Amino acid sequence: MHAPTKGAVKGIRREKTTLSSSSDSEKPQDPVHVFCRLKPLKEEDDPSCIKVISPTILSLSSPTEIKAARDDIQYIFKQIFTPRTNQKEIFQHIAYPLLKDLMSGKNGLLFTYGVTGSGKTYTLTGNQNDPGIMPRCIDTLFNTIDKYQTKKFIIKSDKMNGFEILCDSDAAEARNLEYKMSARSLKSEKRGGAEPKQFYVNEGMKIDGVNENNLYAVFVSYIEIYNNTVYDLLDDSNNKVLQSKILREDAQRNMYVNNVLEVEVKSAVEAYELFNVGQKRKRMGHTVLNSESSRSHSIFNIRLVQIVQQLQNSEGNLVIPECNVLKISQLSLVDLAGSERCSRTKNTGLRLKEASNINNSLMTLRTCMEILRDNQLNNANRLVPYRDSRLTLLFKNYFEGEGCVHMMVCINPAGEDYEENQHVMKFAEISRTVKVNKGESRYTPYRKKVISKTAVHTPLSSKVPIVAPLVFTPQIPSVKLDLENFESCDAVVTRLLKILKARKDNMFAFDREVTTREQNFRKQLIEINHENVISKHEIRNMKMILKQAKHRSQNYETKVLNLATDNENLALKADELQNVIRNLKCTIDEKDLKINRNLLEKERTRQKFVIEKEKHNQEVDEHLRRQREELENQMQVKEIKLRKVKEILEKDDIIIEPIKVENEMQTLEMEFETPKTPKTPSHHRNTAISGSRRRSRSAGDVWLEHNAVVPTELGTVFQPSMKKRKSITKLSKASDVLNPKQSKYCLIAQEADTEGVLETKLYKADIVQTCGGGAQIIFNDVERLRQESPTGTPRNT
């Protein structure tokens, strides 16, 4: 246990680093083993930014598409695996050493790192015919310990990162309960048609040097870290929504997931089934760069619990070892989510939030690595920000000497991934230089009841290991000497001498045992004293922290009182403002009433105006109808008169006096007021009406003359006569028609007939104001002005 540093006195708990004390520097250290795997290119002709120089060195070169070409940079790895390397070779180089450490009671951590779509998940899981690291680890482990496993439920997780041993009755009851539950689930699967189970090819690989005197039990758990929150993928207490978990520290100050479900498995098939269940619940998503992208960091934990058995010596007697313990070791296989650049993935909404959390956690991991390297190179003791991310906080024990750390860097050598690969290489270079202490085996003491491989064990609360009792054998028998029979006395004395000699020999062994136990006990006392000193120092620090907390609490209480006074003042002001608001609301209500009244009056006035306007329109329509009838009657009278004149003119034998004809024509001209002139022969138009000028009807009205074209002068006698008029060439504004002073409208147009003779047409109309404030043009008359020869010969105009 390390003594706290002086900088931790002020209430800020500093995380332990690899150089936090001199005792750590004396321990053997191992660097973080960084491996590299290259993903095959999609096409062989695609440009690559990676060049393998040797089995441990590669070169990163910028593609030709980048404008600012950069120099090639070389990076060193523990081992580089080319696209031609198969899954078995990767397992043997990376995971097999971690499995050997697992069997010897040491912890191991293997995580894959790289950009999205670089092959991290495939490296860990693979497929059925070509398994990855995880299936091969499970197969190899069970191939090794298959004959030396305990019965199920003999060992049970205590939900606090430890294990306990159950008695036979409790274990049998748990097995019966599991058998019933499995039978029910099997029936439901048969009814519902369960999905086919996924299996992997088992190549039969084993680990050498297994201790056949120990008993083994395997526990697996599967968790994910999504948006910096921990979830248990095997927890089926709520089938719809995964419940978040918290991280805690056990008695040995190791971080673990509280209440995580650790399932005991007795075969590789059971482990695969649990893995498949977790894979279905794992967060996956579609991005531009990867169709099945992991949106969270997933951790598959394999924990191996060993029961150290009692041994027998050459004489067949039981020998109790120095410590009867449970040996616990763990292998964590971590599939890190890929780092992403939003400029390439085009993520939005939830995917953008997920990418941000993924990049933040990976950045925290890189920051921790940089500070660890700086502490080791410069003998510094900077604070390592493990707590900035759940990922680094969960695995901080591995970087403090609790196991071996292996990192697989997956690279996509395509030229378009040059920028991402550069960041990945820099992180790998930093991680390669970080060193961690070699982990030691973890032990948990217990007491045995029965000496057999199916023995039942009970937990031991004390940390002091149990040792064999010290007994002097053989004991001195009670004898009687017969002084008369010296031969029998000699035999008894000889037997006593042998017993005394044996006791003397045992005495030397006893002295050695006592000396050894004394030394061990002294070491334990020294350790306890050292822990006591550290505890006292920590208690003093905690007292100082408590004193500071009390002082802060008093300050907070004073601030609370001040804030309470301010709150009362603000409440009074709020009441005053509420009164003001009520007054203003009353004023607003009064004004709203006035406004509503005005609106009602306006609405009534508008309705009255509309009614009056409708009446006026009806009167105007009636007036126009009467005028139209009068005009039609006048037209009929004039047609009759014209017909009579025509009859008079056509009579050749009747001589008409010129003065009389002229008077009759003048009389017809004075009576002619309709705009629609009857169609008369063209040879009478220039002769009978010569010397007169036609006047437009309603000459006193104001006309809006619309000249669509400039008319050509025909030289006719009849011409439109409008004294009050406004001439325009185009109706571009509404005000041209809406002028209330204008009551007439005239559209002048000119066109040629089939013989090529031009004719001017005057389309006349009344401008009537509408109810909505606009104007309506009602056409009611057309005048035609045309000149032609009485002989029928066409004239050129």
Here the CATH number for the domain that contains residue 713 is 2.60.40.4330
DSSP line for 343-389: HHH---THHHHHHHHHHHHHHHHHHHHHHHHHHHHHT--PPP-GGGS
Tokens of 125: 């899981």
Average pLDDT over residues 360-376: 86
Pair 719, 785: CB distance under 8 Å:
yes
Check residue 86 and give left, alpha or beta (phi > 0: left; psi -120 to 50: alpha): beta
On the CB side of 779, how many CA atoms lie within 13 Å of its CA? 8
Handedness of CA 684, 687, 688, 689 (dihedral sign): positive
Instruction: Identify the three-state secondary structure at position 619.
Output: helix
Q: In terms of pLDDT, which residue wins out, 37 or 461?
A: 37
Residue 679 domain flag: no
Number of domains in the chain: 2
Higher-confidence position of 570 and 197: 570
Q: Per-residue pLDDT averaged across 153-181, rounded?
A: 78
Given a cut of 90, whether residue 135 has pLDDT beyond it is yes
Task: Count the alpha carbons within 13 Å of 681 in the hemisphere toward its beta carbon.
Answer: 13
Q: What confidence tier does 28 reach under pLDDT thresholds 50, 70, 90? A: low
- In 3D space, the residue among 150, 233, 73 whose CA is nearest the CA of residue 456 turns out to be 150
Q: Report if residue 224 sits inside a domain.
A: yes
Q: What is the pLDDT of residue 463?
A: 37
Confidence of residue 783 (pLDDT cuts 50, 70, 90): confident
Q: What is the CATH number of the domain that holds 400?
A: 3.40.850.10
- Choose the most confident range, by mean pLDDT, from 357-361, 524-528, 681-685: 524-528
Structure confidence at residue 142 (pLDDT): 93
**What is the number of residues in the chain?**
797
Looking at the domain assignment, is residue 554 inside a domain? no
Closest by alpha carbon to 387, among 574, 566, 228, 556? 228
pLDDT more than 70, % of the chain: 73
**Three-state SS at 638:** helix
pLDDT value of residue 584: 94
pLDDT band (50, 70, 90) for residue 699: low
- Burial class of residue 631, CB neighbours in 10 A (0-12, 13-18, 19+): middle
Average pLDDT in the 305-323 region?
56
List of residues 6+ apart from 313 with CB closer than 8 A: 319
Residue 668 has pLDDT above 60, yes or no: no
Decide which of 219 and 398 is more confident: 219
Please give the Cα distance from 697 to 703 (Å, whole number): 11
Question: Highest mean pLDDT: which of 12-21, 250-259, 456-465, 628-637?
Answer: 628-637
Using the predicted structure, report yes or no on whether residue 774 has a pLDDT greater than 70.
yes
Among the listed residues 261, 252, 225, 308, the one whose alpha carbon sits nearest the alpha carbon of residue 463? 252
- Under 8 Å CB-to-CB from 259, ≥6 apart: which residues? 159, 232, 245
Specify the residue for token string 């990162």. Answer: 161
Give residue 569's pLDDT: 92
Count of Cβ atoms closer than 10 Å to residue 230 Cβ: 23
| Final residue in a domain of this structure, among 399, 420, 447 | 447
Q: How far apart are CA 793 and CA 612, in angstroms?
A: 59
Tens digits of per-residue pLDDT, 522-542?
Answer: 888 888 888 888 888 888 888
Is residue 740's pLDDT more than 70? yes
Q: Tens of pLDDT along 63-117?
A: 766 655 677 889 999 999 999 999 999 999 999 999 999 998 889 999 898 888 8
Residue 772 identity: G
- 541 touches 9 (CB < 8 A): yes
Amino acid at 572: L
pLDDT tens figures, 36-71: 999 988 887 788 888 899 999 999 888 766 655 677
Write down the pLDDT at residue 597.
92
Q: Which domain holds residue 732?
A: 693-786
Given this model, what pLDDT does residue 350 score? 63
CB-based burial of residue 379 (10 Å sphere; 0-12 exposed, 13-18 middle, 19+ buried)?
exposed
| Domain endpoint, select from 447, 479, 496 | 447
Write the pLDDT tens digit of every residue in 576-623: 999 999 999 999 999 999 999 999 999 999 999 999 999 999 999 999
Confidence (pLDDT) at 81:
93
Q: Which residues contact 264 (CB under 8 A, 6 or more apart)?
A: 152, 153, 155, 156, 217, 218, 219
Q: Would residue 94 count as lying in a domain? A: yes
729-752: average pLDDT: 81
Q: Which sign, positive or negative, has the C-alpha torsion 555, 557, 560, 566?
A: negative
Residue 424 clears pLDDT 70, i.e. is over it: yes
654 domain residue, yes or no: no
What is the per-residue DSSP string for 666-700? HHHHHH---SS-----HHHHHHHTTT-----SSTT
Whether the CB-CB separation of 718 and 689 falls below 8 Å is answered with: yes
Lowest pLDDT segment from 254-268, 305-319, 407-421, 584-598:
305-319
* Residue 676: inside a domain: no
Question: What mean pLDDT comes out for the span 744-750?
Answer: 86
pLDDT score of 340 more than 80? no
Last residue of a domain, one of 430, 447, 464: 447
Q: Which long-range contacts (CB under 8 A, 24 or more apart) does 283-290 make?
A: 283/224, 283/226, 283/354, 285/351, 285/354, 287/116, 287/340, 287/345, 287/347, 287/351, 288/344, 288/345, 288/346, 289/116, 289/117, 289/340, 289/344, 289/345, 290/116, 290/117, 290/338
Domain presence at residue 183: yes
Token pair of 621 as six digits: 């329509």
Interatomic CA distance for residues 505 and 510, integer angstroms = 9
Least confident of 160-164, 414-418, 692-696: 692-696
Higher-pLDDT residue of 481 and 236 is 236
The pLDDT of 621-642, averaged and rounded, is 89
> What pLDDT is attached to residue 175?
78
Residue-averaged pLDDT of the chain? 76
746 vs 478 pLDDT, higher one: 746
Q: Give the model's confidence band at 347: pLDDT under 50 very low, under 70 low, under 90 confident, else very high.
A: low
pLDDT exceeds 60 at position 337:
yes
* Any domain includes 24: yes
**What's the token pair of residue 156?**
């049970």
Residue 745 contacts residue 765 (beta carbons within 8 Å): yes
548 and 556 Cβ atoms separated by less than 8 Å: no
8 A C-beta contact, residue 224 and residue 299: yes
Q: How far does the chain reach from its first CA to its final CA, in angstroms?
A: 124
